[in-house]
């Protein structure tokens, strides 16, 4: 099925460990995004990539890095995980500023 | 700064009755407005959007939303609720200036439709 694919779906990390969340879309969208969802806070933008080769900080970028590997793939890396990064992470893509987002199914991350 | 408010944490409606989920925003200029729905353990799904034109926009699953510029509101509506509409609903706003790549989401409103 066409859409946005995220891996893994679940992950438990110990404080200080690192990991990379993977995201790929097959809709030929130019723009891709990483959000985190926390109860009562909606979704907050971590980083985004307006087009292949560019990345920019969002609302809550501290503790994260991203890579736009090619037009399809946009990964999110936690270099040294902290309990405050326990959250559900969503990747999304869109085709232009007026387009709605297509979201992946999310990664539930717990940092202990 | 942009902001989106969903004043109700939860909305309860009986099946067959009309439903409204409220959203107000604070963005200068002419923002793009969106509604998304999230079912349990799933990602968000796009429902509808307002970019320009007719203030009443129609979307998926029989939902519609009314844009009111003077009240800076974009309320989600459906004439007859279904139990399957029970989910978490998010309003979102995007300032198209500067490319429009930063979408701000509200905190979400949980809709319960009782049979």
What integer best gives the mean pLDDT of chain B?
93
| pLDDT band at residue A1 using 50, 70 and 90 as cut-offs | low
Q: Cβ of A48 and B101 within 8 Å?
A: yes
- CA-nearest residue of chain B to A46? B102
| pLDDT band at residue B84 using 50, 70 and 90 as cut-offs | very high
> Which residue blocks in chain A are alpha helix, DSSP H?
none
pLDDT digits (tens, 9 = 90+) for A62-112: 999 999 989 999 999 999 999 999 999 999 999 877 788 999 999 999 999
| C-beta atoms surrounding B29 within 10 Å | 7
- Nearest-angstrom CA–CA distance, B64 and B69: 16
Neighboring chain A residues of B99 at a CB cutoff of 8 Å: 50, 97
| pLDDT band at residue A40 using 50, 70 and 90 as cut-offs | confident
Q: Cβ of B102 and A45 within 8 Å?
A: yes
- Nearest-angstrom CA–CA distance, A28 and A85: 30
- Nearest-angstrom CA–CA distance, A35 and A48: 9
Q: Which residues of B touch A (CB under 8 A)?
A: 4, 32, 34, 36, 41-46, 49, 51, 90, 94, 96, 99-108
Q: How many contacts, defined by CB atoms under 8 Å, are there between A and B?
A: 61
Give the whole-number percent of chain B exceeding pLDDT 70.
Answer: 97
Cβ atoms B46, B114 nearer than 8 A: no
| pLDDT band at residue B40 using 50, 70 and 90 as cut-offs | confident
pLDDT digits (tens, 9 = 90+) for B53-79: 899 999 999 999 999 999 999 999 999
Neighboring chain B residues of A90 at a CB cutoff of 8 Å: 43-44
Extract the tokens encoding B52.
């320009």
CB burial of A57-90 (b: ≥16 within 10 Å; e: otherwise) equals ebebbeebebebeebbbbbbebeebeeebbbbbb
pLDDT number for residue B79: 97
pLDDT number for residue B101: 77
Q: Cβ of B107 and A44 within 8 Å?
A: no
- CA-nearest residue of chain B to A91? B43
Cβ atoms B26, B2 nearer than 8 A: yes
Mean pLDDT calculated for residue range A18-43: 94
């Amino acid at each position: 099925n066409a859409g946005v694919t995220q891996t893994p779906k679940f992950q438990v990390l110990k404080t200080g460990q690192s990991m990379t969340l993977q995201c790929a879309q097959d809709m030929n969208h130019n723009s891709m995004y990483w959000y985190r969802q926390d109860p009562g806070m909606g979704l907050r933008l971590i980083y985004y990539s307006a087009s292949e080769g560019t990345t920019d900080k969002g609302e809550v970028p501290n503790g994260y890095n991203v890579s736009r590997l090619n037009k399809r793939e946009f990964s999110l890396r936690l270099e040294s995980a902290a309990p405050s990064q326990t959250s559900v992470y969503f990747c999304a893509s869109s085709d232009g500023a007026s387009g709605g987002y297509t979201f992946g199914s999310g990664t539930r991350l717990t940092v202990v | 700064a942009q902001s989106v408010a969903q004043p109700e944490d939860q909305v309860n409606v009986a099946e067959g009755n009309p439903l409204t989920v409220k959203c107000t925003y604070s963005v200068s200029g002419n923002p793009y407005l969106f509604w998304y729905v999230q079912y349990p353990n799933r990602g968000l799904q796009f429902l509808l959007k307002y970019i320009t034109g007719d203030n009443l926009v129609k979307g998926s699953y029989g939902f519609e939303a009314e844009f009111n510029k003077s009240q800076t509101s974009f309320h989600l509506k459906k004439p007859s609720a279904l139990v399957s509409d029970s989910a978490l609903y998010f309003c979102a706003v995007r300032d198209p200036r500067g490319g429009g790549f930063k979408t701000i989401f509200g905190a979400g409103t949980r809709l319960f439709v009782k049979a």
